[in-house]
Structure 1
């Protein structure tokens, strides 16, 4: 394995400018996904995160075909799909997961059809699905940073309402909260978190960045504020370690980050102070 000091040296090597850019986007994505992912985990809406990850794909494809900004294209597609899911989910005849399933497979199929019409179809599809460490333009750093700050600002402003809707929607209705609009806001926040993460970790793997850090933090604490502080830290550390390992061993960066996140979750599942399985067995015998 490459010594850590060599990796740090490469980060400051002017001939390897893509490396610190990839790390910056990965860390920013981890922070945003870590915070938003706490709502996803608490509400049990991982399927919605997966749906949004697929829903942004046609927007990414259109942006690629017309040489536009991938983040803008993905955001527009994701927001449109989020609105449709929120609207159609209001009917009592259909469960929310049924509506989500219909829209996310339809959106993903549309994206595959669009990207198949572009030159270099196979390579482009692989980049979208699994990320590209060397394919992050300078302008996207600014877009990701601004989008991330916007997401965190909305979370800070609406945190009590989002928590109420996340934990008990019926109680939130009884309190007079407009659940539909907060549902829609949460879908849009998830969309933005997914879009800014796609280029580094890929469309297929981005759900792990959204769910795994928050789930790991959930095992380590019972307090929401601590959970929302821990999750971005866990995600950021995993991004750094994953990038380091992928650079050392020439591995796919997105998949490596996901494996690090999975390893962190398993360690917490076994050894968490209050909820760890292994420690509970050793302490109580079951």
Structure 2
């Protein structure tokens, strides 16, 4: 399918789910791209994966009772984040141990809850791997509004998040409320995950948080530029992923993730400064003057 046919399908009334799926995929990718910069900056990839597991019981309960998925996932994620924050105050246990216990338990609870719903297998597959055909119009507005709220809070607390990301102990010494900022960041990550689950699925959603930001990190050393590049990379990859999946009848979530991975690999090899080829050329330039001098 060529791009013109794809655009034609977007405006086809019989395929009303397609533009909604594309809009949700792009919006969630933009939000995850920004949030993911802090996740990558702090080395919190495990947190992102854990939050994706934590929202699952809320999604499952909302699905079973025909409630709002975003609200259900948010409540579950926030409650789990609060439990982790509280239990992490015990110095005998490291934070990652507490996270492993509660987030794994949350995912297990979600599986038990969703198993009670009619059509258990199909429902579980939809949550784990996403579904472009099942996005109602109301969720389109919820995703848009939630995404704007996440971005607004993120930019309002940008300096504080950078401070606790670079040096947490110094931030505490300066009186910065590290605990509450951590909690707010967990909530923002939770919201970013929840609005992305319907398109890309619970298992693959971590890629939206990590891959665009990691790719942008390879392309620049400046945080501001990184935060501008990451959502662009995520949004364009979502657009290409939906186009390819629709053209070749492939799973949307998996196709978007593979597109993101391809862009990451391209940056890994081709980045002017941090890429494999860029570093090789830099080493070659450093050696060349010495060779010329000896020849002379």
Q: Same fold (TM over 0.5)?
A: yes
Structure 1 position 84, deviation (Å): 1.1
Matched, 1:154 2:146: no
RMSD: 1.0
Structure 1 position 278, deviation (Å): 2.1
Aligned residues: 285
Structure 1 position 283, deviation (Å): 3.2
Structure 1 position 282, deviation (Å): 3.5
- TM superposition score normalised by structure 1: 0.98
Helix, strand or coil for the counterpart of 2:132?
coil
Q: What CA deviation, in whole Å up to 9, does each residue of 1:163-194 have, x standing for no partner?
A: 11112111111111010000000100000000
Matched, 1:46 2:68: no
Structure 1 residue ranges, 4+ long, deviating more than 4 angstroms after superposition: none
Q: Which residue of 2 aligns with 1:282?
A: 281
Gaps spanning 5+ residues in structure 2: where?
Answer: 288-296
Q: Which residue of 1 aligns with 2:63?
A: 64
Q: What CA deviation, in whole Å up to 9, does each residue of 1:132-178 have, x standing for no partner?
A: 00010000011111111110110111110011111211111111101
Q: Which residue of 1 aligns with 2:240?
A: 241
Q: Which has the larger radius of gyration?
A: 2
Q: What CA deviation, in whole Å up to 9, does each residue of 1:66-95 have, x standing for no partner?
A: 111111101100111111112222222111
Structure 1 position 274, deviation (Å): 0.6
Q: What CA deviation, in whole Å up to 9, does each residue of 1:212-252 have, x standing for no partner?
A: 00000000000000000000000000000000000010000
Structure 2 matches for 1:50-199, cutoff 5 A?
50-199=49-198
Helix, strand or coil for the counterpart of 1:59?
helix
Helix, strand or coil for the counterpart of 2:133?
coil
Residues in 1 aligned to 2:90 and 2:8: alpha-carbon distance in whole angstroms? 56
Q: Which residue of 1 aligns with 2:25?
A: 26
Residues in 2 aligned to 1:129 and 1:164: alpha-carbon distance in whole angstroms? 35
- TM superposition score normalised by structure 2: 0.95
Residues in 2 aligned to 1:154 and 1:25: alpha-carbon distance in whole angstroms? 20
Identify the range of structure 1 (83-92 vs 160-169) with the bigger mean alpha-carbon deviation: 83-92
Identify the range of structure 1 (159-168 vs 40-49) with the bigger mean alpha-carbon deviation: 159-168
Helix, strand or coil for the counterpart of 1:15?
helix
Gaps spanning 5+ residues in structure 1: where?
Answer: none
Residues in 1 aligned to 2:243 and 2:164: alpha-carbon distance in whole angstroms? 39
